[in-house]
Amino acid sequence: MPIKRVFQGSVDYLQVLDEFGNLDKKLEPKLKPDMLKKMFELMLLTRTYDDKSVKLQRQGRLGTYAPILGQEAVGVGAGLALQKQDWALPTYRETQIYYIKGVPLEKIFMYWKGIEEGLKYPEDSNTFPFAIPIATHLPHATGIAFALKRAKKKQAILTCIGDGGTSEGDFHEALNFAGVWQVPLVLLIVNNQWAISVPRSAQSASKTLAQKALGYNIPAVQVDGNDVLGVYKAVYEALEHARSGKGPYVVEVITYRMSMHTTADDPTKYRSNKEVEEWRKKDPIDRFRVYLKKKKLWTKAYEEKLMERIAKQVEEAVAKMEAYKSDPHDMFKYVWQEMSDNLKEQMAEMDKLISGGG
C-alpha cells in the first residue's frame, strides 16, 4: 500500500518595516497620517509610563512591576487593530491594550500599587482584568469567544500569552476547544525570548510557537513584534477572520524583553548584555521614527512637544493614583451579588475596630 501524506502545514513570517526602517510597500497597511502618528505617540506614552513605573517601584510607591521596555509595538499594534465592539483579555505586559480600549492610565497605575479598584474598568471598554497565573485566562477567553458565537455577535476577542505560557496545559486546552467549536478568538503569542529565566529554546523544540496552532486546525502567522505596522496588519487580519465567522487565529510576535521580567528579577544572572544590546538595535520606536521621518510626519520639534505632553499626562495619572482613597467596605460588598450574613457581621466588626470600639 503506497504511503500518502495526510497533513502538511506551514507558517508564514510577516515583516512590513525592518530594523533599519526600510518598508515593504507591498505589505504596508493603508493607514492615514493621524493613525500613524497615534501609533508613535502611544509607543512613546508606553515607554514613558513604563519608565515611571519602574522608578515608582524602586521608590516604594508601587508594588512588584512587570516592565514593557522593548515590547511597545506589540500592545500598541494589537490594541489599535481592535474595533470598539471587540473584547480584550491581555496579560500584564500588554497594558497599552487596556489604555487603547478606554481604561484610564491612573487605573493601570492603581493596580500595580495594589489598589484592587484599579481592575474595575469602564463597562464600555469590553475588557477583562488580566490574570497573574500563567495561561489560566486562556480557557476564559475561549469561553467568551464561544458565548459571542452563540449570541451571533459580529465580535471577536483578543487574548495574549507569553512564550513560556505555551508550555502550559491551559494553552492547549483553550486551542483545542477553539478549534473544535471554531470560535472568534485571536490568540497573540508574545515571544519575547525569555520566560523569566528560561530561554525560548528550553520551552519547545518547535521551530515556531505559531505552528502549535496547526495541530488544532487553526491558521497561524509569525510576525516581527518590533514592527508596529506588521503587528497591526497581522492582528487586524486575524480579527477580521475571526469576526467574520471563519474561526480562531493564532499570531506569534517575535520581540524581546529588554528589561527584567519583573522588578523582583535580576536578568544579568541568566543572560548576557551582548544579547540585550543586539536586540536594542531593533528598537521598535527607533525604526518607526525613521519611517515617519521618510513620510515627512516627524520632526524633532514635534517629538519634543509630544514628550512634554506625555510627561505631564503620566505625572497627572500618578497624582490621581496616589490621591485615591480605597473604601474598605468594598472588600465585603463585592464578594457576592448580595452580602451574606457572615460578611455583614465581618463588616460591622471592622467598623467597630475602625471607630476604636475594639
Per-residue pLDDT tens over the stretch 13-52: 999 999 999 999 999 999 999 999 999 999 999 999 999 9
136 located within any domain: yes
* Catalytic status, residue 287: no
Cα Rg of the chain (Å, integer): 22
Backbone φ, ψ for residue 223 (5° rounding): -140, 150
Residues 338 and 246 in one domain: no
3 located within any domain: no
pLDDT tier at 91, thresholds 50, 70, 90: very high
| CA dist., res. 209 & res. 163, Å (int) | 7
- Its sign, for the CA torsion 256, 262, 268, 270, is negative
Q: How far is CA 4 from CA 7, 8, 166, 216, in A?
A: 9, 11, 31, 21
Q: How far is CA 214 from CA 11, 67, 70, 103, 281, in A?
A: 9, 31, 29, 34, 32
Residues 98 and 214 in one domain: yes
Residues 170 and 279 in one domain: yes
Q: Look up residue 141 and give its three cell numbers.
A: 477567553
Q: pLDDT tens digits for 288-347?
A: 999 999 999 999 999 999 999 999 999 999 999 999 998 989 889 988 999 999 999 999
* Catalytic status, residue 334: no
Residues 60 and 172 in one domain: yes
Q: Look up residue 22 and give its three cell numbers.
A: 526600510
7 located within any domain: no
Burial 301-319 (b: 16+ CB within 10 A, else e): eebeebeeebeeebeebbe
Residues 315 and 351 in one domain: no
* Catalytic status, residue 137: no
Residues 267 and 349 in one domain: no
Residues 290 and 317 in one domain: yes
Residues 145 and 192 in one domain: yes
2 located within any domain: no
Reduce the DSSP state of residue 125 to 3 states and report it.
helix
- Kindly report the number of other CB atoms within 10 A of residue 330's CB atom: 12
pLDDT tier at 358, thresholds 50, 70, 90: low
Mean pLDDT of 121-132: 93
Of 58, 150, 270, 309, catalytic: 270
Residues 230 and 358 in one domain: no
Mean pLDDT, the chain, integer: 96
How large a percentage of the chain has pLDDT more than 70? Answer: 99
CATH number at residue 186: 3.40.50.970
- Its sign, for the CA torsion 22, 28, 29, 32, is positive
Residues 39 and 148 in one domain: yes
**Cβ-proximal residues to 69 (8 Å cutoff; 6+ apart), any chain:** 47, 50, 51, 257, 258, 259
Q: What angle do CA 335, 336, 339 make, to 5 degrees?
A: 95
Residues 345 and 293 in one domain: no
1 located within any domain: no
Of 47, 243, 261, 289, catalytic: 261
Residues 317 and 332 in one domain: no
Of 47, 257, 287, 289, catalytic: 257
Q: pLDDT tens digits for 243-282?
A: 999 999 999 999 999 999 999 999 999 999 999 999 999 9
Q: Work out how many domains the chain is built from and give that number.
A: 2
Q: Which domain holds residue 147?
A: 12-326
Q: Look up residue 342 and give its three cell numbers.
A: 457572615
Which candidate, 299, 282, 333, 324, places its Cα nearest to that of 71? 282
